[in-house]
Amino acid sequence: MEYSPSGETGGGPWLDLERVASRNGMGSDYLKSVTSVARARLPVNGTSHDNERAKEEKGGIMKRRRLGGVVALAAAMTAFLVSGYASPAHAVLALVSRNPDTSFLVHPGNGFPQWYQDVNGIALGQCNFGVPGDPVGFVNDPLCLPSGASARPLPNLPFDEAFYFTADTEIAALDGGAISGSLLVIALEAAFGTGDPSPGQQLVFARIRFRANVAAGGEGTYTLTHPYGVETFDVATTGTRAINFTRDIGLAPLGFNEAVVNGDIGPFLTCVNPAPPAGYLGNVGVPCTFTGGLNDLVNITGPLATNNTTNVLLIGGKIDPKLPFTPLTVDAATYRCVSGVFCDIDVFAHSSPLAALVATSGTFIGPPMLGDGAGGFFGTLQVTQAAIPFPRSLANPSLLVNVSAADPAGVPVSLKIPLVDSVIISQATHNLATGIISVRATSGDPRATITEVQFGSLKGGALDVDLNGFTAISIPHPTVTVVSNAGGSATVPVQILNVPEGLKIAAAKFNLRRKRLTVIGTSTAPGASLLLQTGVKQLGTAVVGANGAFTMKANLKRAPRFIKVLSSGGASVRKAVKAVTR
């Protein structure tokens, strides 16, 4: 089932948090603390669609799997919603990265903020905002939680979740007495309102999640104390996930400041023992004691709960030096096949004038790109024609070109762009005198077919159209666009001409034996429509060829003295007929 952030599904209505709370007599204070932004997806059939990351102990180190659609909270959350409440948590974040014009400073490829900063001046940046083996993003950093690889990746968005900050308990750290299977998740997380990567749907939210099993006989009120506040849960029904609480704040796409203003996280926690590696808050795979929160411990109290306290968390976060990302825009990556074996890829980009840029495609690596000293860059790399998929399809997608930019004063950046063939339009004219529009174009891929989007396919790279036949067109068009089935396209202005047609008849002969009239001539209006007449009688029609030549034939009983050819371009010419025997 597909879900939308607006709260509509294709399979039935949602029950949001406000409705659940209303049905169970919960007040507005509860709603403000729990439902400030979050919504719960509660399908009518009761099926849970919460693809949350699970935790497991493996070799003494907690590993966390990926999270699916972030705007979804499980139907299992209903147990908490109808019987628990939460006191508002405390959070102190100060800033999210911004440009001088106050717009958000985001990565030029993935569109997420460069950093988030707390009141202590600690700024955490993007760590592992990519997937292993992909050159885009910062990947394979073992000190941070890995991102979740998307099942529907985009060229510059291969993940569907990534993390600025994480602080979690080990699974058994809070277990004791009636409590088991405890799980505390604290995170400042990047994801998408659509679940799958989608430009314009980027969001960053602050999450507090607590889950625990409660044994039979453990009914009652439980209080969770964590680094950023206190939550209270009334458990009326025991069992698996009897306590099941999630609060996500910041779920509006592109509303990157919501987690700062209203989120539950901040200041950031820092490992004390063992001390964090330089440049990090901790090692996400190594438990540590910590400092920085309102409470430097985690505790759960309630009926039959015993020894439910820990001062150890798994903390992840990479300190950002607040150097700006190297600016990078990849304008185009087109190819032209210079032989039946090799093709040249031309890459055009803009970055800071002092940056060093390199373009690669698969295993093909180009030399350093050339700069013009003003931020413009150009580079060429050669690939085999066989390496470029054709025809393209979902199963045979376009080759991708990766451009990496590194500036001494900034953070290196990589971006990808799909490779398309080079389409060059060498002529686009509209002759007002003849009504003929002429287009000449070529593709860099000899396998490709090119088409003018309004008038049709080019044959041999040429298209001549008599616009007098297009009743919907009364004035010249300002541009023509030629597209290729290899992905390329080009648009150029139309040159307006007002040149009368040059129409000539080279020969007009009547074969006395065959009783056939043949007229041969030329016109300066390729594509023009011609009409052959003798007197007022129409003998036939023809179209001027791309080379400007035409031939017209008609079968007659006897030879006419004169014939006349009229063109749709407005010209006409008359010529005497010569009788021949062969």
Q: Do the Cβ atoms of 548 and 521 come closer than 8 Å?
A: no
Query: Looking at the structure, do residues 103 and 219 belong to the same domain, yes or no?
Result: yes
**∠ CA(316), CA(112), CA(356), 5° rounding?**
95
434 and 376 belong to one structural domain: no
Q: In 3D, which of 117, 113, 116 has the Cα closest to residue 129?
A: 113
Higher pLDDT, 337 or 139: 337
Please say which residue of 497, 512, 527 terminates a domain. 497
Q: Are residues 44 and 61 in the same domain?
A: yes
**Domain end call among 421, 436, 468:** 421
Contact yes or no for 175/189 (Cβ under 8 A) = no
Q: Does a structural domain hold residue 9?
A: no
DSSP state of 325: B
218 shares its domain with 103? yes
Sheet holding 376-384, edge to edge: 370-371, 376-384, 342-351, 328-337, 420-421
Which CATH number covers residue 345? 2.60.40
pLDDT in tens, 175-226: 888 999 999 999 999 999 999 999 999 999 999 999 999 999 999 999 999 9
> Do residues 382 and 302 share a domain?
no
Q: Is the domain of 86 the same as that of 202?
A: yes
Other beta carbons less than 10 A from residue 489's beta carbon: 15
For residues 430 and 536, membership in a common domain is answered with no
243, 175 contact by CB (below 8 A): no
For the cut 50, the answer to whether the pLDDT of residue 345 exceeds it is: yes
pLDDT (0 to 100) of residue 473: 55
Residues 162 and 224 in one domain: yes
Q: Do 189 and 55 share a structural domain?
A: yes
Whole-angstrom distance, CA of residue 33 vs CA of residue 460: 68
Please write the tens of the pLDDT for every residue from 3-23.
Answer: 233 333 332 222 223 322 332
- The reply to whether 8 falls in a domain is no
Residue the block writes with tokens 């210079």: 338
Residues 125 and 243 in one domain: yes
* Overall domain count for the chain: 4
Average pLDDT over residues 521-543: 88
pTM for this model (two decimals):
0.67
CA distance 374 to 280: 36
Q: Are 115 and 125 in contact (CB under 8 A)?
A: yes
Q: Which residue has the tokens 């990047």?
A: 190
Query: Do the domain assignments include residue 470?
Result: yes
First-last CA distance in the chain: 78
The pairing of beta strand 537-543 with beta strand 84-86: unpaired
Task: Show the domain range for 333.
Answer: 328-421
H or E element, residue 505 = strand 503-511
Do the strands 220-226 and 549-555 form a parallel or antiparallel pair, or are they unpaired?
unpaired
Residue with tokens 């004219």: 429
Query: DSSP state, 561?
Result: S
